[in-house]
Copies of this chain bind each other. A is one copy, B any other.
């Protein structure tokens, strides 16, 4: 899988052949299809890997005993950390997102829906407790999407590490960009 992701990064998914992946990984031609299957299968395995990790983390936090605001903070921090840890796979996989279709695309969608549901449960609880102003799905989806996109712009050479980015975005998500006493805050 590492050899496949390296080649997808260098040449693109569509220009990479299974044979090249086998060569890079040092797998003999006879064992190639047994171990590798199709390159679509490899791309699927990579995407399923980090998506499942994100779902496990989100479900664990949502199922915990903390209060909703703490859970939401932990969801943000956990998602940013995992997105940054797996940013190379996320970036490569999303660049050719259309390469997965049918059952594989549907399987990934199930995992992504599970992540979304874990977040929504926490947001619903926070809203019911009067701690959040909204539990609108548009907001929950947009917040998760914003955190996913950290993978697109994060750089190791940038000013901030994962925890600092999580802190900055936690403030933005909870309190917005308007200055606390801004007279135009409500427009």
Chain A residues in the interface with B (C-beta under 8 A): 12-14, 67, 69-70, 72-73, 94-99, 101, 123, 130-134, 136, 138-139, 141-143, 145-146, 148-150, 152-153, 160, 165, 168-169, 171-180, 182, 184-185, 187
**Known pairs A138-B169, A174-B176 / 20 extra A-B pairs, C-beta < 8 Å:** A12-B99, A14-B14, A67-B184, A69-B182, A69-B187, A72-B177, A73-B187, A123-B177, A131-B184, A132-B177, A133-B171, A133-B175, A134-B172, A134-B177, A139-B177, A142-B172, A143-B172, A146-B146, A174-B177, A174-B187
Copies in the complex: 2
Q: Is the CB of A133 within 8 A of B177?
A: yes
Please give, as numbers and ranges, the residues of chain B lying within 8 Å of A179 by CB-CB distance: 130-133
Of B98, B145, B150, B176, which is within 8 A of A95 by CB? B98
A79 to chain B, nearest CB (A): 13
Q: Is the CB of A153 within 8 A of B168?
A: no
The SS class assigned to the A binding surface is: helix
Measured CA separation A34–B99 after assembly (Å): 29
Give A175's nearest chain B residue, CB to CB.
B176
Residue among A73, A123, A184 having the largest count of chain B Cβ atoms under 10 Å: A184
Please give, as numbers and ranges, the residues of chain B lying within 8 Å of A123 by CB-CB distance: 177
Q: Is the CB of B168 within 8 A of A138?
A: yes
A125 to chain B, nearest CB (A): 13
A102 to chain B, nearest CB (A): 12
Of B98, B130, B134, B172, which is within 8 A of A139 by CB? B172
